């Protein structure tokens, strides 16, 4: 007679079903595949006349006590075997040696106490549940069942490492039957990917003889759309345990426990709870942590009212909802025990600071719509940590309203020029995270950067990489530690004094230059040349040439006059080149300067005889200056340099900068010491006057 077990008083009949099997369908492509059904025939042994081509054999609901190799030896094509609800007490997997394609084996609801041998590696479905195993029938050979997708197990004892051999398998379903098992070594139970396929009726769970402390259920799929929601929610909320997590489920509500609850921790992350959850609930007086992350909460004042009777509540997380602080009226009601509040990733504005728990110590408001923090908040004197990152704040908040604030996170805001008195008002700040803000690097930021530089070692988080200039454009991207502005540019009084001193210095320098370089004279000469250029700008070159009286104006030192008169003049004038000499051509009664300007203008070229004596002559320098600025027309090449004796650049006085420039920029003719080379010298010099000129005499011009 089949033995049936009934739960005794005080026993715990706990069935953890991660998925209910709606049906198993084995598809065969070959139409000749056969299925033999001998179920519920009151058989005591396996029939011997089974067709050898049998692929599916159903022997369930019989009284078969044992399975031998001879029972299935002649079934080489067997793929599915059902032996549930029989009297089998032992099973040797070796009997399936000649059935290499076996995929489905169901020996549930028997009297199995022992199993042996190596299960067929082809198995996809193995059900050993609802048997008489003392411990879970899982041993090292199960590790080879890489195709297994369903595994049913049962035991009266459950040890921590019993499932280790199959930990690496990717099972889709696991059925765990712990019948008659006093759960005294199970304190924390985690269930993942639970699928609800049948309506749940109200059941009473007895926990008096268990050590279960925490239950975690994540990723629940509900395939039942019409069911008694109160029965489902009561299953969880009336559990007599300390910690409960039901997350990533489609639950839209959760009931208040019917009796004072032992819950100290509740986590309902990513459900669909609304503002009505736990309203008016007075049975969660021992609750310390409540997490309602990623739900559909909208009204902040309703959330506060929900906690009214949660006298032990310390931590509340309602982040990632749609909470708005505009809907509250008057003062908000909160459990005074709340010290940690997470309101991040909602749609809260500045008014949230008027609807907060009075004794909150850690407040997370990051990723909201806060633009400023009111300065008249007086009841948040216990606040120690404030996170307002990723909002729209334009300044660092002072600590007048938060007298013991020690941690401030205000990165990713719009802080451009933080208040200079922040560190003075926030003396107890031990950690400041203010990077990734668009700091405006102007004078107003100098004091803030200076203060940060003094304390950045342990206090300022992310320094210096996260602190960069956002404007002006010229400084954008510059690290604040490299941002420097001189005191002169930021201090008006100092700027005026400095500018005044600079102007006085410039006046002194100009006076010195005027004396040293005779600048007034140069300015006067430049004025004369400018007027000359203005007169000559629109006069054609041919007309200018008609006013020329000489081929060349010669400038030389008196110490070199012998060479000029004995060498230069004879060799040029014999070819009809007319030379202007100051001693024979200058007009009496005119100043030397006027004569120099006049005859340089009347000469086609200007020849300068360079020698150490030349650079010592003031008048030679003036003549060189005027000739260099001969502006009858643009692009004129009217200078001829003749180097009579070598001149060292270092010997040229610094004020003769025109001569220095000409010596380095222009080609000059060098008077050769060898007589044999002088013919070439004169040929090159005469070639400079190859242009045919129409010269006029002074009397012809009526001067």
Tokens 């008096």 locate to: 208
Residue 131 CA to residue 351 CA, distance in Å, equals: 63
What's the whole-number mean pLDDT along residues 229-238?
Answer: 80
Looking at residue 645, its pLDDT comes to 85
CA angle at residue 169 from 164 to 172, to 5 degrees? 120
Q: Is pLDDT at 122 greater than 70 in this prediction?
A: yes
- Say if CB 315 and CB 288 are below 8 A apart: yes
What's the whole-number mean pLDDT along residues 614-641?
Answer: 63
Looking at residue 46, its pLDDT comes to 92
Looking at residue 54, its pLDDT comes to 92
- Say if CB 557 and CB 616 are below 8 A apart: yes
* Residue range 68-96, pLDDT digits in tens: 988 898 899 999 999 999 999 999 999 99
Q: Is pLDDT at 281 greater than 80 in this prediction?
A: yes
More confident residue, 559 or 518: 559
- 90-92 vs 114-116, strand pairing mode: parallel
- Reported as a pLDDT band with limits 50, 70 and 90, residue 200 is low
Looking at residue 123, its pLDDT comes to 94
Tokens 């006046």 locate to: 507
What distances in angstroms separate CA 363 from CA 287, 344, 458, one per listed residue?
19, 9, 22
Looking at residue 211, its pLDDT comes to 76
SS3 content of the chain, % helix, strand, coil (to 5): 25, 15, 55
What's the whole-number mean pLDDT along residues 617-632?
Answer: 61
Residue 150 CA to residue 175 CA, distance in Å, equals: 8
- Closest alpha carbon to 662 in 703, 621, 634, 692: 621
Looking at residue 93, its pLDDT comes to 92
- Closest alpha carbon to 698 in 558, 533, 588, 623: 588
Q: What percent of the chain has pLDDT over 90?
A: 33
- Reported as a pLDDT band with limits 50, 70 and 90, residue 694 is low
* Residue range 363-420, pLDDT digits in tens: 999 999 999 998 878 788 899 999 999 999 999 888 888 889 999 999 999 999 888 7
- 340-342 vs 362-364, strand pairing mode: parallel
Q: Mean of the per-residue pLDDT values for the chain?
A: 81
pTM of this structure: 0.57
Looking at residue 325, its pLDDT comes to 78
Looking at residue 631, its pLDDT comes to 39
Q: Is pLDDT at 16 greater than 50 in this prediction?
A: no
What's the whole-number mean pLDDT along residues 29-55?
Answer: 82
Residue 52 CA to residue 592 CA, distance in Å, equals: 140
* Residue range 129-169, pLDDT digits in tens: 999 998 889 988 898 999 999 999 988 877 778 888 888 88
């Amino acid at each position: 007679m089949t033995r049936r077990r009934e739960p005794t008083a005080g026993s715990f009949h706990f069935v953890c079903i991660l998925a209910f099997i709606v049906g198993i369908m084995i598809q065969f492509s070959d139409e000749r595949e056969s299925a033999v059904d001998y179920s519920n025939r009151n058989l005591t042994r396996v029939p011997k006349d089974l067709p050898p081509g049998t692929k599916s054999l159903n022997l369930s609901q019989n009284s078969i006590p044992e399975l031998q190799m001879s029972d299935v030896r002649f079934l080489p094509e067997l793929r599915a075997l059902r032996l549930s609800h029989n009297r089998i007490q032992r099973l040797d997997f070796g009997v399936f040696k000649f059935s290499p394609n076996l995929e489905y084996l169901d020996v549930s609801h028997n009297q199995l106490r022992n199993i042996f041998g190596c299960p067929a590696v082809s198995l996809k479905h193995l059900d050993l549940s609802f048997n008489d195993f003392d411990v879970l029938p899982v041993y090292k050979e199960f590790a080879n069942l890489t195709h297994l997708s369903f595994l049913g197990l049962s035991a009266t004892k459950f040890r921590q490492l019993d499932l280790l051999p199959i930990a690496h398998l990717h099972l889709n379903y696991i059925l765990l039957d712990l019948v008659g098992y006093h759960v005294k070594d199970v304190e924390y139970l985690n269930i993942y990917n639970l699928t609800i396929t049948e309506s749940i009726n109200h059941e009473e769970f007895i926990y008096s003889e268990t050590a279960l402390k925490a239950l975690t259920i994540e990723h629940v799929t509900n395939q039942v759309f019409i069911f008694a929601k109160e029965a489902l929610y009561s299953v969880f909320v009336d559990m007599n345990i300390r910690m409960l997590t039901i997350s990533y489920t489609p639950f839209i509500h959760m009931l208040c426990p019917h009796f004072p609850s032992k819950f100290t921790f509740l986590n309902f992350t990513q459900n669909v709870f609304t503002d009505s959850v736990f309203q008016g609930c007075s049975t969660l007086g021992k609750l310390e942590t409540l997490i309602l992350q990623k739900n559909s909460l909208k009204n902040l004042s309703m959330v506060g009212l929900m906690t009214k009777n949660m006298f032990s509540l310390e931590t509340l997380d309602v982040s990632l909802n749609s909470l708005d602080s505009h809907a509250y009226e008057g003062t908000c009601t909160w459990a005074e025990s709340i010290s940690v509040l997470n309101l991040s990733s909602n749609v809260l504005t500045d008014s949230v600071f008027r609807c907060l728990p009075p004794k909150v110590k850690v407040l997370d408001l990051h990723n909201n719509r806060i633009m400023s923090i009111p300065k008249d908040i007086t009841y948040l004197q216990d606040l120690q940590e404030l996170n307002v990152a990723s909002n729209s704040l334009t300044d660092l908040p002072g600590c007048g309203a938060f007298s013991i604030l020690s941690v401030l996170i205000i990165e990713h805001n719009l802080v451009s020029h933080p208040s200079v008195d922040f560190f003075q008002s926030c003396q107890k700040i031990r950690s400041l995270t203010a990077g990734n803000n668009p700091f405006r690097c102007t004078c107003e930021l100098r004091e803030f950067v200076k203060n940060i530089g003094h304390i950045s070692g342990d206090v300022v988080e992310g320094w210096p990489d996260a602190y960069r200039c956002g404007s002006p454009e010229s400084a954008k991207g510059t690290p604040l530690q490299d941002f420097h502005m001189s005191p002169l540019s930021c201090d008006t009084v100092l700027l005026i004094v400095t500018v005044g001193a600079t102007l006085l210095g410039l006046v002194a320098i100009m006076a010195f230059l005027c004396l040293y370089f005779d600048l007034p004279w140069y300015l006067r000469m430049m004025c004369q040349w400018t007027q000359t250029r203005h007169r000559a700008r629109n006069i054609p070159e041919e007309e200018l040439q008609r006013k020329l009286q000489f081929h060349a104006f010669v400038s030389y030192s008196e110490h070199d006059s012998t060479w000029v008169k004995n060498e230069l003049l004879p060799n040029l004038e014999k070819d009809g080149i007319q030379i202007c000499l100051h001693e024979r051509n200058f007009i009496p009664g005119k100043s030397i300067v006027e004569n120099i300007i006049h005859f340089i203008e009347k000469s086609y070229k200007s020849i300068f005889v360079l020698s150490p004596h030349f650079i010592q002559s003031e008048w030679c320098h003036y003549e060189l200056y005027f000739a260099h600025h001969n502006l009858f027309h643009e692009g004129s090449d009217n200078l001829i340099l003749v180097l009579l004796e070598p001149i060292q650049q270092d010997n040229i006085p610094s004020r003769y900068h025109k001569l220095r420039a000409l010596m380095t920029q222009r080609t000059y003719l060098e008077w050769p010491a060898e007589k044999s080379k002088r013919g070439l010298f004169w040929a090159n010099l005469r070639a400079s006057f190859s242009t045919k000129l129409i010269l006029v005499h002074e009397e012809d011009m009526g001067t």
